[in-house]
Each structure stands twice: as structure tokens, then as C-alpha cells.
Chains A and B, each alone.
Chain A
Amino acid sequence: AQKITQTQPGMFVQEKEAVTLDCTYDTSDPSYGLFWYKQPSSGEMIFLIYQGSYDQQNATEGRYSLNFQKARKSANLVISASQLGDSAMYFCATERGYSTLTFGKGTMLLVSP
């Protein structure tokens, strides 16, 4: 079985600062994917970034980067230069067998002016 742990229920950051959202995972699959999704108050899950377990380099997408440490089984999301619109729930997820996603409980990020 797969498990995702997000230990930060809530995080506060000031606008323009960087923030790291923690994620650790547990899986027995030899090959897997790691995802981060954003869920604003409107409810829709928005894909942010993907990291394959065999990727040598950390994934980056604009202001988002994934700090992947395979030996520690961690996949932390780094958001640089936070914006007010970044305030939302953030979910880490792992993919099983190139199909279903297992999500953590999420971290609520609040960006203040």
C-alpha cells in the first residue's frame, strides 16, 4: 500500500518570499511518480508538477520546483516568490502502476501581503 504524509496542516508566508511544503511517501513500487496539486477554495484540483522516481534531476515548472530525495522518500514542493494567488490547499500524491493517485491530507498555504 502507498502512503503520503504531509506534516504541515498550515503554512504562512509573506508575498514574494519562498516557501517549502513537506511531503514524505511510502511505496513498495520500484517505479512510481510523485505529483503536487493545488486546490483553491473553488475546489478544482490543479496539476502543478510531476517527478518520476528514476528522473535524475529535480523537476521544475516556473515558480514551482520539487526537491526530490529518493533515499529519504521525500518530495518537497518549493514555491519561489509567493503570490497572493498561491493561497490554497496543496496536495502531494504518488501514482501507483501508472494509474491511480494516493493523496496526502494536504497543507493549507496562506500568503499575506
Chain B
Amino acid sequence: DTGVSQDPRHKITKRGQNVTFRCDPISEHNRLYWYRQTLGQGPEFLTYFQNEAQLEKSRLLSDRFSAERPKGSFSTLEIQRTEQGDSAMYLCASSLFGLEAYEQFFGPGTRLTVL
């Protein structure tokens, strides 16, 4: 299967702990996006990369959040000093920018629960 993959699928942590999520995009895709989805809402944009460059960050992305895509392939999203309000589904998506089709392909998500 060559779709977007995310690891772990589920993460339970205690408030104040750090967590890191990984996303592996579709191999030829040059753009990678992170979204957050809380219960009853649509996904909200957090940040995105084109190759290894982080091009945009949402105001939702507080200083406790950091994302990297060091070699333009996989990406990590780290949350430091987690809070209960960070509990959500974290979705990763990728796309191939430069062609006519602009759809983003999503991974299965990482569900974070902060106790």
C-alpha cells in the first residue's frame, strides 16, 4: 500500500508529557500537511511543508508544537508539555503540487488522549 501512513494510531499520555507523531507521505508527493480534528468539527489546518521547507503555520500552532520534515520525506509533529485541550485526532495529508489536480490525500490519523 503506498498511501499516507501515520504512527502511532493511538496515543494516551499524561498532562505535561511530550509526544511525537510521525507521518510518511505518498512517496512522490512534495507537500505535506498537518491538521487537527476535535470531536464534532472538521479538520483545522496546523502547518504545511513543501519539500523540507515549512511554508506556513497556523495561529493554532502554539509554541509547544513543532513540526519538521528534515529530508523532504517523512515528517514529525511534536507536542511539548501536553494539555488536556490537545486531545484530538491529528491528521497528516500529502499532495503533489505543480500538477493540475490539487487533492490532498489523508492518512488514518493519530488519536491523542491527554489525561
Contact = CB atoms under 8 A, between A and B. Distances in A.
A99 B55 contact: yes
Contact of B106 (A44, A102, A105): A44
A99 B48 contact: yes
B25 interface: no
A28 interface: no
Contact of A103 (B42, B48, B55): B42
A111 to B, nearest CB: 21
Interface of A: 4, 33, 35, 37, 42-47, 50, 91, 93, 95, 98-106
B56 A103 contact: no
Contacts, number: 55
Given A43-B111, A95-B102, A99-B55, A105 B41 contact: yes
Contact of B42 (A42, A91, A98): A91
Interface of B: 31, 33, 35, 40-45, 48, 55-56, 89, 91, 93, 97, 101-109, 111
A47 B107 CA distance: 11
Contacts of A50: 101-103
A101 B92 CA distance: 12
B104 A102 contact: no
B31 to A, nearest CB: 8
A33 B42 contact: no
B42 A93 contact: yes
Given A43-B111, A99-B55, A101-B43, 7 more contacts: A4-B42, A43-B89, A44-B107, A95-B102, A100-B33, A100-B56, A105-B40
